[in-house]
């Protein structure tokens, strides 16, 4: 299998196959994790691509601990940080992701990974093909993909914000209400019709309203006491 892989793609060398293959899997939100199952299956299917290219199954490591995390930064992505560390230590022969946006939606993070891959001789594979960051043409294409991925995130945010502002200007924007309040059929904010919930909230506020009122009544007394003490300290000794 190794000979076939080497003959089919000259970018793969015996040195690459001696190292580990890392498959990075990520969905941006937990809702996508549960609903976009087809994307998740496609990402896991890349593992078979690595086997076909010549990597033994025991040398393929799947990093999927960043599920539900945005690719806009690396702050909360322990999996991506681990991947960068492994690549920088020269342990990775290839890094795999369904598309560039799975790895990073930030040009700074993406180009940093490309630089480290080029220095360590690590290949990059996505659904479209296999790339060697040491080659100028491959690195140029990967850079363009990273730029497009970040631009796509900007466009998505702009569309969402535009829709929110448009609804707000028409007075049709609905925001999540606190517990105990709901929208009626006329889209007015009213108390929740659940009587048990209303009674619970009334009891809650009545419980804390008493101590708050006592605190307000004591505040002038405390202020006068403090002022009299300050005046006594400033009075000259007889």
Strands (E), the chain: 20-24, 60-63, 92-96, 123-125, 130-131, 181-183, 189-191
166 is catalytic: no
Closest residue by Cα to residue 133 from 145, 148, 122: 122
Give me the catalytic one of 28, 101, 120, 149.
28
Q: What is the Rg, in whole angstroms, of the alpha carbon atoms belonging to the chain?
A: 30
Per-residue b or e along 107-143, where b marks 16 or more CB atoms closer than 10 Å to that residue's CB: eebbbebbebbbebbbbbbbeeebbbbeeeebbeebb
Residue 173 CA to chain centroid, in angstroms?
A: 26
CA distances from 21 to 57, 149, 159 (A): 9, 23, 37
Q: Which residue has the tokens 């342990």?
A: 91
For residues 111 and 69, give the distance between their C-alpha atoms in angstroms, rounded to a whole number: 20
Active-site annotation, residues: 28
């Amino acid at each position: 299998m190794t000979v076939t892989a080497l003959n089919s793609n000259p970018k793969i060398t015996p040195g690459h196959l001696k190292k580990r293959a890392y498959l990075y899997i990520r969905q941006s939100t937990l809702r996508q994790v549960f609903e976009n199952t087809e994307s998740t299956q496609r990402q896991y299917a890349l593992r078979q691509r690595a086997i076909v290219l010549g990597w033994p199954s025991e040398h393929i490591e799947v990093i999927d601990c960043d599920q539900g995390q945005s690719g806009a930064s690396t702050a909360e992505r322990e999996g991506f940080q681990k991947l960068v560390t492994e690549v920088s230590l020269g342990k990775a022969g290839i890094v795999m992701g369904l598309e560039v946006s799975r790895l990073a939606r930030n040009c700074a993070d993406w180009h940093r990974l490309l630089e480290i891959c080029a220095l360590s001789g690590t290949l990059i594979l996505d659904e479209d093909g296999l790339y060697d960051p040491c080659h100028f043409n491959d690195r140029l294409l990967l850079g363009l993909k990273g730029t497009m991925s970040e631009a796509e995130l900007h466009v998505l945010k702009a569309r969402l914000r535009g829709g929110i502002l448009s609804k707000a200007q028409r007075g049709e924007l609905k925001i999540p209400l606190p517990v105990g309040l709901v929208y009626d059929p006329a889209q007015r904010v009213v108390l929740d019709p659940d009587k048990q919930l209303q009674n619970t909230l009334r009891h809650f506020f009545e419980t804390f309203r008493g101590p708050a009122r006592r605190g307000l009544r004591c505040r002038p007394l405390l202020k006068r006491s403090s002022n009299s003490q300050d005046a006594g300290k400033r009075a000259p000794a007889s």
